[in-house]
Structure 1
């Protein structure tokens, strides 16, 4: 089968490899589309904490089941599916937490012998497979996983429909966090970024206001003025220097910051701002099954046009271009899908 490899930092190759053997509790999926995620870019650049080149890249996927193991009974050949790409018991420091994302030993595509999704065929444990309704296309189905990240962030923030919300970063995860927040009834939302075309997508998804911080020197003050005051919740969806303190400065007393972005390098924290105003900074890591199911429900309802985040649809032979334009923010790229159809 054809598979997209990150062979070394910033180098993509399409290779011919064997289809992995199917275990008794697994299914074989003929991949229709795979997505390029921000964490894939970290792998592409050699910065990811556990996915290291050379590796078959990708963890977002949608496709058709073409074979099932002999112990798989609730999934059948011909099913249209996506995958929740993480495996774990929920055990952390000897305790069962009930949260897969807390697992001390968590497995994801691109780790160990579990190959990534960006290939003609992808093997997954049946336990991780999610059936797609007929009304959900593969192109929208592949967005279930990244939208689940936004859903989990909204859960961690304890979002209320009356909250005033800021989202710092209008990449795919920031935009899908916006979708998740809106799905919970929030009507007062501000999205910031440095790229106007990404902010235009935020408007398509229903953002109340957007702000290009490159064009507004005192953007924190302006954000509060435009939205009628400080924010109840702020989501950090871009891991840039100084953004934690920016988020704290946007918050009202008792507000919550949720860190969704991947960070590389230290962040400073204004501890006085945090402590004296009883503000909170909350970590947020991937998702759990309820988040995935809520994401699928949002996509199936189709009240929020999440597919607006899709900017490019490329053949797998163009995967190198896909990674380049996402990394370099070229061609007004937002969410890039790679097709194996």
Structure 2
């Protein structure tokens, strides 16, 4: 079968590789749609924290079951499915507490132990496979994984019941958090970004206020908009310099900040603001099974405007071009999904 392999930084080659071998509890999936994540861009650049080159891209996937192992009971050929792309060890303290998302030994696609999804076929253990709800097509199904990230972040920020929140960063995750916040009934949603195109998408999706962080003082603008009260919760979905201090500045007293952006470098933070305002700063790492299930429910309910989030689709053969578009911002795009 063909697979999109990053052979060296900035080089993607469609290679012939062996078809996956179906184990007794495995499900073989013909890939129909697979999204490009920010982590795929890191892999493309050869800068991913733990995925080493050469590697097959991808972990956001939807497709059709073509074969199942002898002990698989919940799936059969022809079913439309998606995959929760994390396999935890099941034995560590985090796993025993139900937090497999922070299992230090978890296995993910794009590593030697598990092939990535940018291939004609993808294999997953039955427990990681989920049927797509009725009415959810493959394109929408490929958003289940990043939407689960957004659901988890929304939970960490306790968005349910909030009246006013800010989302710093209007990329894929920020926009999906916006959709979740709207579904949860948040009335005032302030979205920021460095690109007007992304902010335009945020407005279409229901942001009440958008702020270009390069042209405006975000903290001053939100202080003015809220009469100095700030916002009850902040989702940090971008990694711009000073963004944690910005989040603290706009948060209301005793507000909550959920950090979903993977900021991999040490940055200075004015901790005084956190003490003075009694703020909570929470990390948000991927998702749990319940978050993934909630994401599928949101897709089934039509709560996510897929056509707004997925701004471009490309054929599998054009995977390298799609990565170049996102890396160099050659076109206005938020989410690109590769179709097969």
TM-score by length of 1: 0.96
Cα drift, residue 92 of structure 1: 3.5
Note if contact 1:30-1:63 (Cα within 8 Å) is conserved in structure 2: yes
Q: Paired residue for 2:110?
A: 110
Q: 1:250 to 1:30 in 2, by over 3 A?
A: same
Find the counterpart in structure 2 of residue 252 from structure 1: 252
Deviation at 1:110, TM superposition (A): 1.0
Aligned pairs (5 A) from 1:272-287:
272-287=272-287
Is residue 65–residue 77 contact of structure 1 (8 Å, CA) maintained in 2?
yes
SS in structure 1 at match of 2:261: coil
Is 1:219 the equivalent of 2:218? yes
**CA separation in 1, counterparts of 2:131 and 2:307?**
19
- After TM superposition, the structure 1 stretch with the greater mean CA deviation from structure 2, 233-242 or 302-311, is 302-311
Displacement of 1:91: 4.0
Shift of 1:90: 4.8
Describe the superposition over 1:132-168 as per-residue Cα deviations: whole angstroms up to 9, x where unpaired.
1230110111001000000000111122333311111
Q: Is the 8 A contact 2:12 2:320 kept in 1?
A: yes
Is residue 263 from structure 1 mapped to residue 263 from structure 2 by the alignment?
Answer: yes
> Are the counterparts in 2 of residues 92 and 102 from structure 1 also a CA contact under 8 Å?
no
Identify the range of structure 1 (140-149 vs 172-181) with the bigger mean alpha-carbon deviation. Answer: 172-181
1:58-113 CA-partner distances (Å, limit 9, x unpaired): 00000100000000011111110000000104543587221111212100001223
- Point out the more displaced range, 65-74 or 319-328: 319-328
Q: 5 Å matches for 1:65-84?
A: 65-84=65-84
Kindly indicate whether the alpha-carbon contact (under 8 Å) linking 2:166 and 2:191 is maintained by their aligned counterparts in 1: yes
Q: Which residue of 2 aligns with 1:92?
A: 92
SS of the equivalent of 1:249 reads: helix
Aligned mates of 2:132, 2:94 — CA distance in 1: 35
| Residue aligned with 1:179, SS | helix
Q: The residue matched to 1:134 in structure 2 has which SS?
A: coil
Shift in CA distance, 90/240, structure 1 to aligned 2, threshold 3 Å: farther
**Aligned 8 A contact 1:176 1:306 in 2:** no
2:242 matched residue in structure 1: 242
Rounded to whole Å, the distance in 1 between the matches of 2:79 and 2:297 is 18
Number of residue pairs the alignment of both structures matches: 339
Change (3 A) 1:151 1:208: same
**What are the within-5 Å matches in structure 2 for residues 30-179 of structure 1?**
30-93=30-93, 96-179=96-179
The question of whether the paired residues in 1 share the 8 Å contact of 2:94 and 2:100 is answered with no
Could you tell me how far apart the structure 2 residues matched to 1:110 and 1:293 are? 23
Match of 1:210 in 2: 210
Q: 139-148 or 86-95, which moves further after superposition?
A: 86-95
Name segments (4+ residues, structure 1) moved above 6 Å: none
Structure 1: gaps (5+ residues): none
State the TM-score, normalized to the length of structure 2: 0.96
Instruction: Find out whether 1:200 has 2:207 as its counterpart.
Output: no
CA distance in 1, matches of 2:154, 2:309: 18
Contact persistence 2:107–2:113 (CA under 8 A): no
Paired residue secondary structure (2:39): helix
* Structure 2 counterpart of 1:307: 307
C-alpha distance in structure 2 between counterparts of 1:283 and 1:40, whole Å: 21
SS at match of 1:46: coil
The answer to whether 1:24 aligns with 2:30 is no
Give the RMSD, CA atoms, in angstroms: 1.4
What's the offset of the Cα at 1:290?
0.6
Cα distance in 1 for residues equivalent to 2:219 and 2:59: 35
SS at match of 1:214: coil
Equivalent residue, structure 2, for 1:181: 181
* 1:306 CA drift (Å): 3.5
Aligned 8 A contact 2:179 2:303 in 1: no
Q: Residues of 1 paired with 2:150 and 2:329: CA distance?
A: 21
